[in-house]
Amino acid sequence: MQTFDLEGFLPYRLNRAAEFVALRFAAQYKARYQLTRPEWRTLAALGSSGRSMTATEIGAHSSMHKTKVSRAVFSLEQRRWLQRREDGRDRRFEHLALTAQGQQAYSELTELASGYQAELCSMIGAKNLEALSTGLGAVERVMKKWKGL
């Protein structure tokens, strides 16, 4: 009677894979930098964009709740990895940018990340990786469409 296949259910599979893959990487940066997941994600968003961003932009970009972003920004600021600059025209906005120290940390962390990515890729295989990337790209387009509404 049951025609539903959990093993084929996308949210379930995505979550399981994401959780597993993220945890192994989190163990590395937690041990070395005492960074939390939201902190790393915020740092990564800023570092990779190469420019300043607002908290809202960071949240939209990385699918994080705004309170998560707010707290991550606070603690990165405490570490002096990040600086706030008020927008002169619209003072509701805060432009967030990495400090030199933050840039340094980011570049160290991307070393870790690249190593992990390489490890994943070699286990997954180039062909499967390409398939995964294609599929994720499609999901990302759906995300944009739904967020746009």
Tell me which residues touch its own copies (CB under 8 A). 1-22, 24-25, 41, 44-45, 47-48, 50, 62-63, 107, 110, 113-114, 116-117, 120, 123-125, 128-129, 131-140, 142-143, 145-146
What is the x/- site pattern for DNA, positions 44-63, by CB under 7 A? ----------xxxx------
| Phi, then psi, of 96 in degrees rounded to 5 | -105, 135
Any contact of residue 110 with DNA (CB under 7 A)?
Answer: no
Any contact of residue 33 with DNA (CB under 7 A)?
Answer: no
Q: How far apart, in Å, are the Cα atoms of 13 and each of 19, 117, 128?
A: 10, 20, 16
For residue 29, the minimal CB distance to DNA (Å) is 13
What is the x/- site pattern for DNA, positions 115-134, by CB under 7 A? --------------------
Residue 13 neighbours by CB under 8 Å, 6+ apart:
7
Burial of 39 (0-12, 13-18, 19+ CB in 10 A): buried
